């Protein structure tokens, strides 16, 4: 194969790899609604963020246990310095929302309806790791985005 043909073949291969990786959630992107650095014992508790839930990506592509539709970039990022408290990430909304979190260990954590009021998600890390938590707030159906409040707490679920 000629050197020019090799360059074109390599470029085509990189394009295919880049296109394939676009399907996954990208925690390398800047979060849509920002980042917070917090340490165990933080105040105010809960730390709240108002946002829009939903997106075009089917969360079940991450894991069959994940539900809803989420954005490609994280909605919010928490850089957490752990202590002796649990870390609780929950959502309050009048819509049916879901929650997807990529934890400091690289694992994916998902919830649909474990929070308050039946259709709100909540994840509780009993012995949380210090590090970066990338958070996506999804909408159960793909039809629309909804007002939602993300809550970061060590004390309770909202």
Reduced 3-state DSSP string for 33-98: CCEEEEECCCCCCCEEEEEECCCCEEHHHCCCCCCCEECCCCCEEEEEECCCCCEEEEEECCCCEE
Per-residue confidence (pLDDT) for residue 21, from 0 to 100 = 35
The CATH code belonging to domain 26-153 is 2.60.120.380
Looking at residues 38-43, what average pLDDT do you find? 97
The pTM for the full model equals 0.83
Per-residue confidence (pLDDT) for residue 8, from 0 to 100 = 34
pLDDT band with cut points at 50, 70 and 90 for residue 24: low
Residue 143 predicted with pLDDT over 80: no
Residue 146 predicted with pLDDT over 80: yes
């Amino acid at each position: 194969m000629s050197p020019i043909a090799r360059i074109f073949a390599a470029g085509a291969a990189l394009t295919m790899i880049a296109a394939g990786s676009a399907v996954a959630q990208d925690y390398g992107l800047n979060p849509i609604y920002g980042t917070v650095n917090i340490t165990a014992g933080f105040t105010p508790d809960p730390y709240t963020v108002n946002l829009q839930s939903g997106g075009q990506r089917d969360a079940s592509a991450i894991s069959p246990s994940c539900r809803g539709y989420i954005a490609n970039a994280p909605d919010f990022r928490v850089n957490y310095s752990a202590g002796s408290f649990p870390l609780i990430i929950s959502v309050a909304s009048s819509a049916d929302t879901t929650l997807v979190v990529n934890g400091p260990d690289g694992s994916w954590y998902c919830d649909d309806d474990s929070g308050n009021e039946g259709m709100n998600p909540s994840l509780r890390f009993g012995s949380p790791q210090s590090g970066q938590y990338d958070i996506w707030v999804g909408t159960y159906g793909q039809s629309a985005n909804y007002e939602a409040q993300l809550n970061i707490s060590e004390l309770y679920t909202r």
